Amino acid sequence: MGGRIRGLMSGIAALSVLVACGGATGGGTTTTTGADIILGAPLSLTGSSSKEGGLAKQGYDMWQTWVNQQGGINVKGVKHKVQIKYADDQSKPDISAQLTQSLITDQKVQFLLGPYGSGPTASDAVIAEKNSIPMVEGNGAAQAIFSKGYKYTFGVLSPANKYLQGVIDLAATLNPKPSTIAMLAADDSFSQEVAAAVNDYAPGKGFSVVYNQKYPNGSTDVSSLVAAAKAKNPDILLNSGHLAEAIAINKAAKDLQLNAKLFAYSVGPSTPDFVNALGKDSYYVMDGSQWTPQVKYKPTFYLSVADYTAAYKSTFNTQEDPDYHVAESTAACLALQKAIENAGTVTNTDKVRDALASLDVMTFFGEIKFDNRGVNVTKPMVVEQIQTDGKHHTVFPSDVADKQVQYPTPPWSQR
Partner 1 sequence: MSEAAFSTQPSRTGRRIRRAILIAFLLVVVVVLVLPLTLTQQAADANLDPTTLGIDFAINKSIVRTETTIAMFVALAAAWNLIGGLTGYAAFGNVAFFGLGAYTVGFLTDKQHLSFALALPLAPLVAAAFAGLIGVPLLRLRGHYFAIATLGTGVAVGEVIKNLDVFGGATGLFPPILRHADALFFYLMAANAGLAVVVTWLVMRSRFGYGLIAIRENEEAASVLGVNTTAYKVGAFALAAALTGLAGGIFAQWSSFIDQESVFPIQYNVQMILMAIIGGAGTLFGPVAGAIVLEWLILSLAGGGASAVYAQMGLGVLLAVTVIFVPRGVVDFFGGSSKLSLGYFRRSLRETSV
Partner 2 sequence: MSLFVQQVILGLMLGGVYVAVAIGFSLVWGVLNIVNLAHGALVVVGMYATWFLFTHAGIDPFLTLPLDAVVLFAIGYLVQRGLINRVIRAPLFFTLLLTFGINLVLINLFLLWFKADFRSVTTSYSGAGLNVGAVTIPYIRLAALVIAMLLAGAVGFFMNRTRTGFAIQAVGADKDAAQLVGIDLRHVYALTFAVGAACAGVAGGLLSTVQAISPTAGEPYTLQAFVVVILGGLGRVSATVVGGLLFGLIEVLAQSQVPGLGAGWSNAIAFAVLVLVLVLRPQGLLGRLA
DSSP assignments along 120-148, one per residue: HHHHHHHHHHHHT--EEESS---SGGGGS
CB 57 within 8 A of CB 72: no
Q: Which of 402, 103, 156, 115 is nearest to 302 (CA)?
A: 156
* 3-state helix vs strand vs coil in the chain, percent to 5: 40, 20, 40
Calculated CA dihedral for residues 302, 305, 309, 310, nearest 10 degrees: -70
Check binding of 51 to partner 1 (CB under 8 A): no
In the range 277-316, which residues lie near partner 1 by CB under 8 A? none
In the range 61-120, which residues lie near partner 1 by CB under 8 A? 86-90, 92-95, 97-99, 101-102, 104-106, 108, 119
Please pick, from the candidates 154, 163, 207, 215, the single residue that binds partner 2 as defined by CB under 8 A. 215
Please pick, from the candidates 129, 187, 341, 354, the single residue that binds partner 2 as defined by CB under 8 A. 187
Task: Indicate the burial class of 404 (C-beta count within 10 angstroms; 0-12, 13-18, 19 or more).
Answer: exposed
Find the part of the chain contacting partner 1 (CB under 8 A) among 140-148, 272-280, 313-321, 372-380: 140-148
Rounded to whole angstroms, how far apart are CA atoms 255 and 141?
32
State the nearest-atom distance from the C-beta of 410 to partner 2, in Å.
14
Check binding of 180 to partner 2 (CB under 8 A): no
State the nearest-atom distance from the C-beta of 188 to partner 1, in Å.
5
Calculated CA dihedral for residues 383, 384, 387, 390, nearest 10 degrees: -170
Q: What are the beta bridge partners of residue 39?
A: 84, 111
| Nearest to partner 2 of 152, 274 (CB atom) | 274
3-class secondary-structure state, position 350: helix
CB 380 within 8 A of CB 292: no
Please pick, from the candidates 81, 254, 351, 373, the single residue that binds partner 2 as defined by CB under 8 A. 254
The letter for the amino acid at 395 is: V
State the nearest-atom distance from the C-beta of 218 to partner 2, in Å.
7
State the nearest-atom distance from the C-beta of 192 to partner 2, in Å.
9
CB 135 within 8 A of CB 112: yes
Check binding of 142 to partner 1 (CB under 8 A): yes
State the nearest-atom distance from the C-beta of 386 to partner 2, in Å.
15
**Cα dihedral sign, 331-334-336-342:** negative
Query: CA-CA distances (angstroms) from residue 200 to 124, 158, 209, 287?
Result: 30, 17, 10, 19
State the nearest-atom distance from the C-beta of 13 to partner 2, in Å.
42
Q: Which does 243 bind (CB under 5 to 8 A by kind): partner 1, partner 2, none?
A: partner 2
| Nearest to partner 2 of 113, 258 (CB atom) | 258
Check binding of 373 to partner 2 (CB under 8 A): no
State the nearest-atom distance from the C-beta of 53 to partner 1, in Å.
10
CB 343 within 8 A of CB 355: yes
In degrees rounded to 5, what are phi and psi of residue 303? -75, 160
Check binding of 122 to partner 1 (CB under 8 A): yes
- What does DSSP say about strands 361-363 and 262-265: parallel, antiparallel, or unpaired? unpaired
Please pick, from the candidates 223, 315, 345, 406, the single residue that binds partner 2 as defined by CB under 8 A. 223
Check binding of 344 to partner 2 (CB under 8 A): no
Q: Which does 3 bind (CB under 5 to 8 A by kind): partner 1, partner 2, none?
A: partner 1
Please pick, from the candidates 10, 189, 271, 387, the single residue that binds partner 1 as defined by CB under 8 A. 189
Binding site for partner 1 (CB under 8 A): 1-4, 7, 42, 45-46, 86-90, 92-95, 97-99, 101-102, 104-106, 108, 119, 122-123, 125-126, 129-132, 142, 144-145, 148, 150, 187-189, 191-192, 216
Binding site for partner 2 (CB under 8 A): 46, 48, 50-51, 54, 187, 213-216, 218-221, 223-225, 227-228, 231, 243-244, 247-248, 251, 254-257, 273, 276-279, 281, 412
